[in-house]
């Protein structure tokens, strides 16, 4: 608990998809000086309008516990899963990588893309756009290789994550307003 | 409006709002009108179930609601208009958030179709108040109006209480909705847990009776938990014989004259309380949050103790101080269980069990850290408060304060023995809190003695409310400890900034006696010690609101003091102490 070493942590937060909920979560992080490495959000249940927010953050174990407790305090937050607690969880991120180059490095780009199993989703005479999914370190490796052989433009989705195995179900839905 | 609570009752928004308030048991609203809340004011005009107190500034409305809430345990209700009405309320809301006061604040908003258009008196109220409320809402669909309001009350009063804002566009107030009653509201999101983990309670009981140097450290959670918590604390202390200290927010939860009471702890706490915290081997924290005013230098905070923390708010636990036994619970429930477990255990009486510790504490007490000598004719501020206490202790009295030295002296020299009798701005330290707060207390307790122990500078921040107390004949007493300085600022400048008194003198003070009289109230003044008792007597017996200008010595400092960043053993007990412990560079940056 009093460990001073920072750890990386992926949180999956189920919230009511109501106005201001994202601002509330982000405001909590900025107001209290917590880190956000990545944050993604989208509605996952349109019937009950529930969204899942995946947050990658880092901090000492004490700060991580604080972050969870502070999130839990927010009224629209239903459930928080600390995925790093569990040895079983999957994480994926998607990136679009545009590379502009010509000649032999253009062919090299295609080869690297192939070995990373990236898809070519657009091509002009002097550029490609690759789509790549994987964990964040795979994306980072791919991007750094691309940078070495051309001019690069990048869009990343941020991390999406969930636990493996059994369904983590929502608390009673009658909770809804 | 009356009678029929059957479902399918159709009302316009404004009437529905009042009906919800009524159903939630609201007796009084503190508010100020404006264009965006006129439909609600119109509904109020026609209703007679709810009283409205017209304040003179929206900040005061929130503080008044806080005073009402803190002295009764009920939710305080505020009504303000859009734009400037809402922004004026922000200080009060932040104050209520920091001190965990249940407030529901209704704010008007421009009609939904104009939101985002920079309309007249439009402000992004939910955006502005998001970080200073426990939760807030913008109602955009009139069919959700009633359930949102009911939920707002639930959120404000449940768990760790706090302020909730509901922003109400004007068109919503005017359109028709189906009324939803309190019990028909679907679902209950937000269900904080309030029951302690029994196994941990058993552990705590054993720890407490086996400790050699135990201490109980209680906070505002004891007050928020309700009067039962204070009774249980007394029982807990008497069963175990463990010495007990309280935070500024906790004062009143334990009788000040009990011999196991160590006084307040923290930056201006007693020598015995702070040294006991430093030296203890088991610390039981009930409803306090290891605030920086309490801990001083964290690295040196009670280094050798096992710590138990009972708090209803999980985010207060292990925030700044790591504890061995965290217990998420309402203070009342936790103490009920703890007392049950203690009664099952066999343990020796305190004298035998922890006699050495108690003797040590008595030695610290022997320093008499709150001693002062009143000599000459100039009134010492400590003496003024001591006399006020002695003259009011047998009357049911409610005390509020402003912020500064007088606040700390009030905490040190006024004795509290019951909960909900002491209202002070602890977390935010808001100058201007005390007077409007006293107004709210007086509204809740007509006929009782309500005194704002004030500093002259703080009083100037919300003195417009003299008009309110005159209008509603609220006999609030303002007892100004007038040292002509922003005393607390001057003290820091003296001790930390080489005596460079930059902008801390309160120039051009009004004649407070004449000021009171200008509002048709009673003004009193005490200029020398021989006038003090008479003036206090007159103030207490007056049926009117009174402003009592007590002119005290100007350069008195508030001791004991743990300078920012120092440890509990590094207390300054008098001005002479300052030479040997100068404030560190690290401490200098702290507030
Ligand atoms: C709204 C606000 N502004 C500034 C401060 C900083 N501050 C703390 S105490 C103090 C001086 C208070 O003076 P006074 O009310 O005369 O009380 P005294 O310390 O003299 O008893 C100031 C300016 C504050 N607490 N609140
Ligand atoms: Mg002053």
ipTM: 0.90
Q: How far is B136 from chain A (nearest CA, A)?
A: 9
Distance B407 CA to ligand 1 centre (A): 10
Site from B189, B312, B317, B328 to mutate, A interface, most A CB atoms within 10 angstroms: B189
β-bridge partners, B165: B105, B136
CB contact under 8 A, A19 and B189: no
d(CA B561, CA B578): 10
β-bridge partners, B379: B552
Site to substitute for ligand 1 among B430, B478, B488, most atoms within 8 A of C-beta: B488
Site to substitute for ligand 1 among B425, B455, B486, most atoms within 8 A of C-beta: B486
String of b and e for A128-158 (b: at least 16 CB within 10 Å)? Answer: bbbebbbebebbeebbebbeebbebeeebeb
DSSP assigned state of B185 = S
Query: Which residues, numbered 308 to 337 in chain B, qualify as contacts with chain A under a Cβ-Cβ cut-off of 8 Å?
Result: 313-315, 317-319, 322
Give per-residue pLDDT as tens, B178-193: 999 998 776 668 989 8
Order across the sheet with B28-31: list the strands. Answer: B51-54, B28-31, B76-80, B103-109, B163-169, B135-138
Pick the catalytic residue from B46, B51, B120, B588: B120
Q: B212 vs A169, which has greater pLDDT?
A: B212
Q: Please give the angle made by the CA atoms of B238, B243 and B249, to the nearest 5 degrees.
A: 100
Question: Is 3.40.50.300 the CATH classification of the domain at A2-85?
Answer: no
Binning pLDDT at 50, 70 and 90, where does residue A177 land? very low
Distances (CA, A) of B143 to B111, B190, B330: 16, 21, 34
Provide the whole-model pTM.
Answer: 0.95
Interface size, chain A vs chain B, as Cβ–Cβ contacts under 8 Å: 57
Query: Is the Cβ–Cβ distance between A150 and A90 less than 8 Å?
Result: no
Which two structure tokens, joined as six digits, stand for B38? 């006129």
Distances (CA, A) of A70 to A7, A63, B365: 18, 10, 39
Nearest CA to ligand 1 atom 11: B486
Ligand 1 atom nearest the C-alpha of B404 is 19
Distance B455 CA to ligand 1 centre (A): 8
Judged on CB neighbours under 10 Å (0-12, 13-18, 19+), B315 is buried
Residue B92 in contact with ligand 1 by CB distance below 6 A = no
Give per-residue pLDDT as tens, B299-324: 999 999 999 999 999 999 999 999 99
Strands B261-264 and B103-109: unpaired
Distances (CA, A) of A173 to A50, A51, A72, A134: 10, 13, 17, 33
Asked if the model's pLDDT at residue A84 lies above 90, the reply is no
Give per-residue pLDDT as tens, B267-297: 999 999 999 999 999 999 999 999 999 999 9
Distance A152 CA to ligand 1 centre (A): 56
Query: Is the Cβ–Cβ distance between B90 and B430 less than 8 Å?
Result: no
Distance B551 CA to ligand 2 centre (A): 10
Q: What is the mean pLDDT of chain B?
A: 96
String of b and e for A105-126 (b: at least 16 CB within 10 Å)? Answer: ebebbeebbeebebeeeeeeee
Identify the H or E element spanning A69.
Answer: helix A61-73
The third-level CATH classification (topology) of the domain covering A90-160 is Alpha-Beta Plaits (3.30.70)
Arithmetic mean of pLDDT, B3-30: 88
User: Can B170 be counted among the known catalytic residues?
Assistant: yes
Give per-residue pLDDT as tens, A15-66: 999 999 999 999 999 999 999 999 999 999 999 899 999 999 999 999 999 9
Asked if the model's pLDDT at residue B175 lies above 80, the reply is yes
Asked if the model's pLDDT at residue A121 lies above 60, the reply is yes
β-bridge partners, B397: B449
| A69 has a chain B CB within 8 A of its CB | yes
The predicted pLDDT at position B581 comes to: 52
Nearest CA to ligand 1 atom 4: B431
Distances (CA, A) of B327 to B100, B161, B239, B562: 19, 18, 21, 29
Which two structure tokens, joined as six digits, stand for B508? 């051009």
Cβ neighbours, 10 Å, residue B299: 9
The predicted pLDDT at position B95 comes to: 98
| A170 has a chain B CB within 8 A of its CB | no
Ligand 1 atom nearest the C-alpha of B432 is 1
Which two structure tokens, joined as six digits, stand for B515? 């000021």
Query: Is the Cβ–Cβ distance between B86 and B62 less than 8 Å?
Result: no
CB contact under 8 A, A73 and B314: yes
| Region for residue B456 given its phi and psi (left: phi exceeds 0; alpha: psi -120 to 50; beta: otherwise) | alpha
d(CA B352, CA A125): 91
Helices (H) and strands (E) in chain A, counts: 4, 8
Return the closest-CA partner of residue B308 out of B299, B293, B321.
B321
Helix ranges (DSSP H) in B225-330: 227-240, 271-279, 292-295
Residue span(s) of chain A under CATH 3.30.70.1150 come to 90-160
The predicted pLDDT at position B590 comes to: 81
DSSP assigned state of A142 = H
DSSP assigned state of B554 = T
Lowest pLDDT segment from B412-426, B482-496, B576-590? B576-590
User: Can B484 be counted among the known catalytic residues?
Assistant: no
Query: Is the Cβ–Cβ distance between A72 and A15 less than 8 Å?
Result: no
d(CA B296, CA A151): 54
Asked if the model's pLDDT at residue A172 lies above 50, the reply is no
β-bridge partners, B523: B547
Asked if the model's pLDDT at residue B161 lies above 90, the reply is yes
Distances (CA, A) of B335 to A54, B4, B14, B126, B217: 38, 43, 43, 38, 13
Residue at token pair 């009524």? B22
Residue span(s) of chain A under CATH 3.30.70.260 come to 2-85
Q: How far is A21 from chain B (nearest CA, A)?
A: 10
Q: How far is B438 from chain A (nearest CA, A)?
A: 31
The predicted pLDDT at position A173 comes to: 40
Ligand of minimum distance to the alpha carbon of B94? 1
Ligand of minimum distance to the alpha carbon of B402? 1
Residue B462 in contact with ligand 1 by CB distance below 6 A = no
Give per-residue pLDDT as tens, B47-75: 888 999 999 999 999 999 999 999 999 99
Return the closest-CA partner of residue B173 out of B240, B271, B107.
B107
Give per-residue pLDDT as tens, B528-571: 999 999 999 999 999 999 999 999 999 999 999 999 889 999 99
| A2 has a chain B CB within 8 A of its CB | yes
Radius of gyration of chain B (CA): 25
Distance B458 CA to ligand 1 centre (A): 6
3-state secondary structure of B134: coil
Binning pLDDT at 50, 70 and 90, where does residue B159 land? very high
Cβ neighbours, 10 Å, residue B508: 5
Return the closest-CA partner of residue A76 out of A10, A27, A22, A33.
A22
Cis peptide before B560 (omega within 30 of 0): yes
Residue B463 in contact with ligand 1 by CB distance below 6 A = no
Asked if the model's pLDDT at residue A171 lies above 60, the reply is no
d(CA B437, CA B453): 11
Order across the sheet with B477-482: list the strands. Answer: B422-423, B397-401, B449-455, B477-482, B546-551, B522-526
Identify the H or E element spanning B177.
Answer: strand B176-178
Query: Is the Cβ–Cβ distance between B213 and B279 less than 8 Å?
Result: yes
Give per-residue pLDDT as tens, B337-393: 999 999 999 999 999 999 999 999 999 999 999 999 999 999 999 999 999 999 999
Q: How far is B576 from chain A (nearest CA, A)?
A: 38
CB contact under 8 A, A172 and B187: yes
Distance B484 CA to ligand 2 centre (A): 5
User: Can B122 be counted among the known catalytic residues?
Assistant: no
d(CA B565, CA B318): 20
Pick the catalytic residue from B19, B74, B134, B170: B170
């Amino acid at each position: 608990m009093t460990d001073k070493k920072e750890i990386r942590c992926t949180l999956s937060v189920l919230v009511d998809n109501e106005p201001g909920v994202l601002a509330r979560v982000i405001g909590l992080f900025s107001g209290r000086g917590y880190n956000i490495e990545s944050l993604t959000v989208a509605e996952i249940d349109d019937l009950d309008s529930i969204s899942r927010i995946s947050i990658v953050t880092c901090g000492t174990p004490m700060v991580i516990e604080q972050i969870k407790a502070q999130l839990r305090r927010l009224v629209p937050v239903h459930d928080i899963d600390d995925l790093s607690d569990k040895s079983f969880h999957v994480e994926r991120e998607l990136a679009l990588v545009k590379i502009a180059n010509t000649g032999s490095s253009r062919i090299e780009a295609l080869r690297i893309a192939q070995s990373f199993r990236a898809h070519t989703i657009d091509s002009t005479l002097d550029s490609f756009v690759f789509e790549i999914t994987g964990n964040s370190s795979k994306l980072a490796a791919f991007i750094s290789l691309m940078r070495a052989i051309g001019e690069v433009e990048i869009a990343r989705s941020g991390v999406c994550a969930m636990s493996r195995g059994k369904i983590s179900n929502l608390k009673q839905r009658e909770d809804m307003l | 409006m009356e009678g029929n609570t059957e479902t399918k009752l159709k009302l316009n928004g404004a009437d529905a709002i009042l009906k919800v308030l009524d159903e939630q048991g609201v007796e009084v609203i503190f508010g100020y009108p404006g264009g965006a809340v006129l439909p609600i004011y119109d509904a109020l005009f026609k209703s007679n179930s709810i009283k409205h107190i017209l304040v003179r500034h929206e900040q005061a409305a929130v503080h008044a609601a806080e005073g009402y809430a803190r002295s009764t345990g009920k939710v305080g209700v505020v009504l303000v208009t859009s734009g400037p009405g809402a922004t004026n309320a922000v200080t009060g809301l932040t104050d209520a958030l920091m001190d965990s006061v249940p407030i529901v604040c209704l704010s008007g908003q421009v009609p939904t179709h104009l939101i985002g258009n920079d309309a007249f008196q439009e402000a992004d109220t939910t955006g502005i108040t998001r970080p200073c409320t426990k939760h807030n809402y913008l109602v955009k669909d009139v069919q959700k109006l009633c359930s949102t309001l009911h939920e707002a009350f639930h959120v404000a009063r449940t768990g760790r209480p706090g302020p909730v804002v509901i922003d109400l566009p004007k068109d919503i107030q005017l359109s028709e909705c189906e009324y939803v009653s309190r019990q028909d509201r679907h679902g209950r999101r937000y269900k904080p847990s309030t029951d302690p983990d029994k196994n941990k309670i058993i552990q705590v009981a054993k720890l407490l009776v086996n400790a050699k140097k135990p201490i109980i450290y209680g906070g505002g959670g004891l007050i928020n938990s309700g009067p039962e918590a204070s009774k249980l604390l007394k029982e807990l202390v008497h069963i175990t014989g463990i010495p007990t200290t309280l935070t500024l927010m906790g004062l009143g939860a334990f009788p000040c004259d009990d011999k196991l009471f160590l006084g307040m702890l923290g930056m201006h706490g007693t020598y015995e309380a702070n040294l006991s915290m430093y030296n203890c081997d088991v610390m039981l924290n009930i409803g306090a949050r290891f605030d920086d005013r309490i801990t001083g230098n964290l690295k040196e905070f009670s280094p050798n103790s096992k710590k138990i923390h009972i708090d209803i708010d999980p985010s207060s636990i292990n925030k700044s101080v790591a504890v061995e036994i965290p217990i998420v619970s309402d203070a009342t429930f936790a103490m009920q269980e703890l007392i049950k477990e203690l009664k099952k255990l066999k343990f020796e009486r305190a004298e035998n069990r922890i006699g050495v510790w108690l003797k040590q504490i008595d030695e610290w007490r022997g320093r008499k850290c709150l001693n002062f000598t009143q000599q000459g004719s100039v009134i010492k501020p400590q003496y003024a408060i001591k006399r006020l206490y002695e003259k009011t202790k047998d009357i049911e009295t409610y005390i509020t304060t402003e912020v500064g030295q007088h606040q700390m002296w009030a905490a040190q020299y006024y004795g509290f023995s019951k909960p909900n009798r002491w209202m002070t701005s602890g977390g935010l330290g808001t100058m201007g809190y005390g007077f409007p707060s006293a107004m709210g207390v007086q509204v809740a307790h007509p006929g009782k003695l309500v005194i704002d122990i004030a500093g002259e500078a703080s009083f100037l921040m919300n003195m417009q409310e003299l008009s309110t107390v005159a209008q509603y004949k609220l006999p609030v007493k303002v007892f100004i400890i007038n040292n002509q300085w922003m005393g607390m600022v001057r003290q820091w400048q003296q001790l930390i900034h080489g005596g460079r008194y930059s902008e801390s003198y309160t120039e051009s003070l009004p004649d407070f006696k004449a000021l009171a009289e200008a509002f048709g109230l009673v003004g009193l003044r005490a200029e020398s010690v021989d006038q003090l008792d008479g003036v206090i007597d007159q103030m207490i017996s007056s049926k009117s609101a009174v402003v009592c200008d007590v002119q005290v010595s100007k350069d008195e400092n508030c001791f004991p003091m743990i300078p920012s960043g120092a440890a509990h053993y590094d207390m300054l007990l008098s001005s002479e102490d300052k030479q040997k412990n100068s404030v560190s560079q690290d401490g200098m940056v702290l507030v």
